[in-house]
A and B are shown apart, each in its own frame.
Chain A
Amino acid sequence: MYRIDRWFTQSARWLARRTSRRSFLTRVGTLLVGGAALPLLPVARASSPSRAPAPGEPDPSTPEGDPANCNYWRHCAVDGFLSSCCGGTQSSCPPGTEMSLITWLGTCRNPADGKDYVISYNDCCGKDVCGRCFCQRQEGDRPVYVSPKSNDINWCMGTVGVVYNSTVAVVVGVATES
């Protein structure tokens, strides 16, 4: 037992003398890079529980019906972190944040009924960025000088603070031809 202890101690010291924290991180990173290149197995998807679609919504097991997916149908013009991944839902903000009252609007087609809906992309404000489910889609996005159609603006202005956390995608109406 003593010999095994001594061998491990000596090996650990040898390793510590020849490597640094930085080289360790570099190697971990190399492994991560390699890992990222491997195809992802469909384990998580296979094990996720099946849910019934909400009224009028696509099948939640498809990307177009999953509010935590960037390809969710309401996210056609979103630019930010999805509230659904941050403690909120597609139509409500995470706890302790405040929903902005002014925002930008998009028009997205719902694959469940083939209709176009007006989507309000309100920001959730008052805490720093959520950091989960960053989603950047630009359908109908226009530059900042066309502000109601711009997703580059931090729409937290007008709330208790401009600090941006995440974004919801609220259905506010069925789009009609103008």
Chain B
Amino acid sequence: MRRVVGLASLLVLAVSAARADVPIEQLGRTENLTAPPNPHWVWVADVLLRRSALLDLDRGAFLGMVSTGYLAPTASFSRSRSEFYWPETYYSRGSRGSRTDVVTFYDTLSLSPTGEVVIPPKRAINVLPSGNAALTDDDRFLAVFNMTPATSLSIVDVGRRAFVGEIATPGCSLVFAAGTRRFLVLCADGSLLTVTLDDAGREASKVRAAAFFDWRSDPVTEKAVRYGDRWLFVSFEGIVHPVDVSGDAPRIEATWSLLDADDRSASWKIGGYQHLAVHQASGRFYSLMHQGGADTHKEPGSELWVYDLATRKRIQRLELRHPGFSLLSQDFEFGRSWVWPFDRLYDWMLDFVVPNPGVSQIQVTQDDEPLLVTGSQFSGSVAVYEARSLRFLRRVPSGNLTVHSLQAPWGGRGRAP
């Protein structure tokens, strides 16, 4: 009898072990990102939803997001501290009431705001992916571009988390970092204003140089990219204007063209809202291109052209695929696990059936296995390619309604603006 009871107990134990309860879990837990931030983590901003989503391009995963207030598509990322800075605008009654502009400090791993500095309520409100704020190369001062439409810069000491003051930049707009205490500002006559700060962040000097392009015949776009100590401005007609900022005064270098005679006769043009990207370590320069007439400088790109900045020659050319289709933030990708060739049905539908909205934004990650990411202002999805071979890898849904800027701030040897 004792033996029977013992066997029965063992059986009960075995059954309970096989059907173990789900462990009791703790309430109130919140995830943090793991350190260090991965170079393949990319910020995808949506000004309609007033947010930016952080995506892992390798896993195709949504990692988190920040809410960024009214029309604030880009952040500035510190290289020396685990934080980033978002110039934001808020109204006391949502879309109306009293306006407050702040620079919000976010922790890189928790994505939580850790503080803010109130700045004058003059921040320039536009959809540009660059030029609205810049961090000095030593991560000490942040300059925020103001437009009321009088133009100026608000200077924030991010180390002390304090507003320093405002520097007027009459006739000149936007802001680009150019050293530890210098900023470049682009003027309406095609010249550059160099603003130098003292160690307290106050104006030390303002020097305006001669015009380096003709804004009437062939203006440069605002979407310049930084390559080491150079800023590369590109004009509507595809002329690259390199500006070396390593010295006290910016040095204008010889221009070169993205287009040859054949390209021009075939009406190839630069275009898009974030139409340039550069991989610092390899010196590869990526440009969105389309065929169009005059004043099509914001048309989405149908092709991606890649240049070697050492030789200034085009080395690759890629017909871009559909960046992905989303509707009301819902991504419609299906059939990835279906058997061949049906697993390609969705790609085929996107590429050949659904009208391709074109690519408005590109960005490249700054690691040694770089990825190229493309987005469209008419979709929340982004497409991912290997940046060297240009092999298409995958599409990643962001939950956005639109894409307004792409930022890949981490893991590079140089700065990715």
Residue pair B349, A33 in contact (C-beta under 8 Å): yes
A36's partner among B149, B188, B354 (CB-CB below 8 A) is B354
* Binary B-proximity of A10-33 (CB < 8 A = 1, otherwise 0): 000000000000000110011011
Q: Who on chain A is nearest to B171 by CB?
A: A145
Residue pair A144, B131 in contact (C-beta under 8 Å): yes
Q: How far is the CB of A27 from chain B (nearest CB, A)?
A: 8
Residue pair B89, A145 in contact (C-beta under 8 Å): no
Residue pair B91, A161 in contact (C-beta under 8 Å): yes
Q: How far is the CB of A164 from chain B (nearest CB, A)?
A: 8
Report Cα–Cα, A145/B298, bound state, in Å.
Answer: 16
Q: How far is the CB of A28 from chain B (nearest CB, A)?
A: 9
CB-defined contacts of B186 to chain A, threshold 8 Å: 143, 145
B96's partner among A30, A33, A126, A154 (CB-CB below 8 A) is A126
CB-defined contacts of A154 to chain B, threshold 8 Å: 71, 125-126
CB-defined contacts of A156 to chain B, threshold 8 Å: 125
Q: Who on chain B is nearest to A153 by CB?
A: B126
Report Cα–Cα, A163/B330, bound state, in Å.
Answer: 26
Residue pair A142, B219 in contact (C-beta under 8 Å): yes
CB-defined contacts of A1 to chain B, threshold 8 Å: none
CB-defined contacts of B131 to chain A, threshold 8 Å: 144
Residue pair B149, A102 in contact (C-beta under 8 Å): yes
CB-defined contacts of B173 to chain A, threshold 8 Å: 144-145, 147
Instruction: Verify if A152 is at the interface (C-beta below 8 Å from B).
Output: yes
Residue pair A145, B172 in contact (C-beta under 8 Å): yes
Residue pair B221, A30 in contact (C-beta under 8 Å): no
* Given the contacts A30-B334, A143-B220, A147-B188, A138 and B71 also touching, CB distance less than 8 Å: no
Report Cα–Cα, A139/B334, bound state, in Å.
Answer: 39
Residue pair B332, A161 in contact (C-beta under 8 Å): no
Report Cα–Cα, A131/B327, bound state, in Å.
Answer: 14
Report Cα–Cα, A153/B146, bound state, in Å.
Answer: 12
Instruction: Verify if A141 is at the interface (C-beta below 8 Å from B).
Output: yes
Report Cα–Cα, A162/B48, bound state, in Å.
Answer: 14
Residues 175-215 of B contacting A (Cβ, < 8 Å): 186-188, 215
Instruction: Verify if A127 is at the interface (C-beta below 8 Å from B).
Output: yes
Instruction: Verify if A136 is at the interface (C-beta below 8 Å from B).
Output: yes
Report Cα–Cα, A147/B150, bound state, in Å.
Answer: 10
CB-defined contacts of A158 to chain B, threshold 8 Å: 148-149
B327's partner among A29, A127, A162 (CB-CB below 8 A) is A29
Residue pair B354, A152 in contact (C-beta under 8 Å): no
* Given the contacts A33-B353, A153-B126, A141 and B298 also touching, CB distance less than 8 Å: yes
Instruction: Verify if A43 is at the interface (C-beta below 8 Å from B).
Output: no
Residue pair B48, A129 in contact (C-beta under 8 Å): yes
Instruction: Verify if B355 is at the interface (C-beta below 8 Å from A).
Output: yes
Q: How far is the CB of A158 from chain B (nearest CB, A)?
A: 7
* Binary A-proximity of B377-410 (CB < 8 A = 1, otherwise 0): 0000000000000000000000000000000000
CB-defined contacts of B96 to chain A, threshold 8 Å: 126, 160-161, 163
Residue pair B174, A144 in contact (C-beta under 8 Å): yes
Report Cα–Cα, A143/B295, bound state, in Å.
Answer: 11
Q: How far is the CB of B379 from chain A (nearest CB, A)?
A: 12
Q: Who on chain A is nearest to B123 by CB?
A: A162
* Given the contacts A37-B353, A37-B354, A146 and B147 also touching, CB distance less than 8 Å: no
Residue pair A163, B91 in contact (C-beta under 8 Å): yes
B149's partner among A126, A147, A152, A163 (CB-CB below 8 A) is A147
Residues 147-178 of A contacting B (Cβ, < 8 Å): 147, 152-154, 156-158, 160-164
Q: How far is the CB of A21 from chain B (nearest CB, A)?
A: 10
Residue pair A152, B126 in contact (C-beta under 8 Å): yes
Q: How far is the CB of B359 from chain A (nearest CB, A)?
A: 15
Report Cα–Cα, A147/B128, bound state, in Å.
Answer: 13
Q: How far is the CB of B380 from chain A (nearest CB, A)?
A: 13
Residue pair A33, B354 in contact (C-beta under 8 Å): yes
Instruction: Verify if B265 is at the interface (C-beta below 8 Å from A).
Output: no
Instruction: Verify if B290 is at the interface (C-beta below 8 Å from A).
Output: no
Instruction: Verify if A53 is at the interface (C-beta below 8 Å from B).
Output: no
Report Cα–Cα, A126/B70, bound state, in Å.
Answer: 12
CB-defined contacts of B354 to chain A, threshold 8 Å: 33, 36-37
CB-defined contacts of A157 to chain B, threshold 8 Å: 125, 147-149
Instruction: Verify if A63 is at the interface (C-beta below 8 Å from B).
Output: no
Residue pair A144, B128 in contact (C-beta under 8 Å): yes
Task: Identify the B interface with A (CB < 8 A).
Answer: 48, 70-71, 89, 91, 95-97, 99, 124-128, 131, 147-149, 172-174, 186-188, 215, 219-222, 295-299, 325, 327, 330, 332, 334, 349, 353-355
The 7 closest A-B pairs by CB, nearest first: A29-B332, A154-B125, A145-B173, A163-B95, A145-B186, A138-B295, A37-B353
Task: Identify the A interface with B (CB < 8 A).
Answer: 25-26, 29-30, 32-34, 36-37, 102, 126-129, 136, 138-147, 152-154, 156-158, 160-164
